[in-house]
Amino acid sequence: MKIIFFGSGGDLSSSLSNQGFEIEELPAPGDLYAPPADLILNADLLVITDTSDPTAILLCRELNPDIKTIVYSQEELSDFLRPQIDFALDPRLFPPKLVAEEISNLFS
């Protein structure tokens, strides 16, 4: 399974990688404006840790309507972004290892 992170994946990225998931991070804001189409088309899950550019998330959903989206951030979600996500998780409440285990259970 391929997972794309918008923003730094940190401990969550490491935990998922250790469980055998293929991880790609797009940490720079410039990368968020034009993610490579083939990267998006081949991804199963989009994890958003940087919510500053909801337009890139819309682009991903347009390119790959079946991609699942999770926001893993303490930041407030814009009204524009809310309808585009499947789950929103606050890292203060859901530690990376727990989230990685649940993702593994859902997508294995």
Whole-angstrom distance, CA of residue 88 vs CA of residue 36: 24
CB 65 within 8 A of CB 40: no
Task: State residue 30's pLDDT score.
Answer: 54
Assess whether pLDDT exceeds 70 at residue 6: yes
Task: State residue 35's pLDDT score.
Answer: 63
The predicted-structure confidence for 15-44, as pLDDT tens digits, reads as follows 999 999 999 988 655 554 566 778 888 999
Indicate the average pLDDT of the chain: 86
Amino acid making up residue 39: L
Assess whether pLDDT exceeds 70 at residue 46: yes
Q: Which range in 21-30, 50-59, 84-93 is most confidently predicted, on average pLDDT?
A: 84-93
Task: State residue 28's pLDDT score.
Answer: 57
Domains detected in the chain: 2-107 (3.40.50.2300)
Virtual CA dihedral for 7, 8, 11, 15, nearest 10 degrees? Answer: 70
Nearest Cα neighbor of 52 from 12, 81, 84 is 81
Task: State residue 97's pLDDT score.
Answer: 93
Helix pair angle (96-107, 10-18), 10° resolution:
40
Question: What mean pLDDT is predicted for residues 51-60?
Answer: 80
